[in-house]
Amino acid sequence: MSEIPKPNEIQLLVQFKKRTVRLVPELVAVLYMGIVGFVAHASGVSLLVFPELAALSHDVLTRPGGKWASQPWLLILTPTVTAIFGIFITRHMAYSAVAIVVIVMLSLLSIKLLRSSIGPAISAGVLPMVLGERSWIYPVAIFADLISLVALLLLWQRYGPHRAEASKRELEHSRIVDTLETPTPDRFWGLALIAFVLALGIAAHATGLRFILFPPLIVMAYEIFGHAKVPGWMARPALFPVVCLLTATTGTLAVHGVKTTMIGVAVTTLVSIGILRIFEVHMPPALAVGLLPFVMVAPNAWYPVSVALGTIALTVCAVGYTYRRTALRERSPVGASLNP
């Protein structure tokens, strides 16, 4: 006769099942990125490892009811359109801060006209300019990536193991990310974003360190400047450069230390997810930082250094922008009446 489980044993079993179900979508995202890495290696088209694909796949699989997952066709269309703009500008303009600003503005216009919430599309537009990529294979690779991701998403939404309940921490994470992915009510964020891109673009051009303004950084700036009042995007914002430095270093080491692209991409994605969890970063585009070395010609130690410099600049500018907007609001008659 079998023994009846004790209450404590039942509770532990329930917690184990919840934890397992929570980890499954992240493991599926890691496996998916590994398969993409294998196809990229086998086909010789390294650009199939689109860095923002890690952010997109992780977000839509862990939050199949989230903003990005709710727009599957725009998930394909928006980055493809901005990738086409990026290649066109790269083929007709030399690398410069002005060229990057042009691509960013075209990307923002595309997002607005399509009524899309897919911010990583900005990265898809800027990446060719930063890499010096001129081949039309690039937007085709982006399109193929996103077709496969949407197919996986639709299958996951229908057959994936979903829980009826989520933990308080997961609900808070989802709330923050959904807010960051919605259109901004701030009227001046666009000027702040363009000024940031122009300033860092000039610094990148002057120093020769193009990855001071690495594409996912612009996506993160787009989300932070657009939602300066959203609290909790990171537990300790001052450590944000450390987080990105760690993921960038992980990707650089994986490129040089792992023989196969499949394993390198999968390991980098897995470690990056772990780093973001440890530091409680609620910003999917940060996952793309570790995968950039897989599409670079010769990544070296200057890449993590450049990432650290770029993220420090973003953190300082974001804090300054938030402080300035708060001060102006308090000085205005409406702000004064709301803050007696």
pLDDT band at 101 (very low <50, low <70, confident <90, very high): very high
pLDDT the model gives residue 283: 82
Q: Chain-wide mean pLDDT for the chain? A: 85
Q: Where are the domains of the chain?
A: 24-160+167-335
pLDDT the model gives residue 225: 84
Pairwise pLDDT comparison (333 vs 211), residue with the higher score:
211
Which range is most confident: 157-161, 224-228, 255-259? 255-259
Torsion, Cα 120 125 130 131, to 10 degrees, reads: 100
pLDDT the model gives residue 339: 45
pLDDT per residue over 119-134, tens digit each?
Answer: 999 999 999 999 999 9
CA 297 to each of CA 22, 166, 300, 309, 318: distance values in angstroms, whole numbers, following the listed order: 36, 42, 10, 21, 31
pLDDT the model gives residue 340: 40
Per-residue pLDDT, averaged over 255-275, amounts to 92
Per-residue pLDDT, averaged over 108-128, amounts to 94
- pLDDT > 70 in the chain, percent: 78
pLDDT the model gives residue 224: 84
Residues 143-154: b if buried by 16+ CB within 10 A, e if exposed:
bbbbebbbebbe
Residue 289 pLDDT exceeds 90? yes
pLDDT band at 336 (very low <50, low <70, confident <90, very high): very low
Pairwise pLDDT comparison (4 vs 100), residue with the higher score:
100
Residue 161 pLDDT exceeds 80? no
pLDDT per residue over 176-230, tens digit each?
Answer: 666 666 666 666 788 889 999 999 999 999 999 999 999 999 999 998 887 666 6
pTM: 0.85
Residue 35 pLDDT exceeds 60? yes
CA 179 to each of CA 62, 65, 227: distance values in angstroms, whole numbers, following the listed order: 16, 14, 8
Q: What is residue 3's DSSP assignment? A: P
Q: Is the distance from CB of 289 to CB of 248 less than 8 angstroms?
A: yes
With 0-12 CB in 10 A as exposed, 13-18 as middle and 19+ as buried, what is 13? exposed
Q: Is the distance from CB of 321 to CB of 291 less than 8 angstroms?
A: no
pLDDT per residue over 51-89, tens digit each?
Answer: 999 999 999 999 888 889 999 999 999 999 999 999 999
Least confident span in 133-137, 231-235, 269-273, 336-340? 336-340
- pLDDT > 90 in the chain, percent: 61
Q: Is the distance from CB of 192 to CB of 226 less than 8 angstroms?
A: no
Residue 293 pLDDT exceeds 80? yes
pLDDT band at 338 (very low <50, low <70, confident <90, very high): very low
Q: Is the distance from CB of 104 to CB of 193 less than 8 angstroms?
A: yes
pLDDT the model gives residue 249: 96
pLDDT the model gives residue 320: 81
Least confident span in 1-15, 113-127, 145-159, 232-246? 1-15
Measured CA to CA, the distance from residue 200 to residue 130 in angstroms comes to 13
Measured CA to CA, the distance from residue 35 to residue 177 in angstroms comes to 26
pLDDT band at 102 (very low <50, low <70, confident <90, very high): very high
Residue 76: name the closest of 132, 120, 32, 41 by CA: 120
Residue 235 pLDDT exceeds 70? no
Residue 146: name the closest of 69, 232, 238 by CA: 69
Per-residue pLDDT, averaged over 162-178, amounts to 63
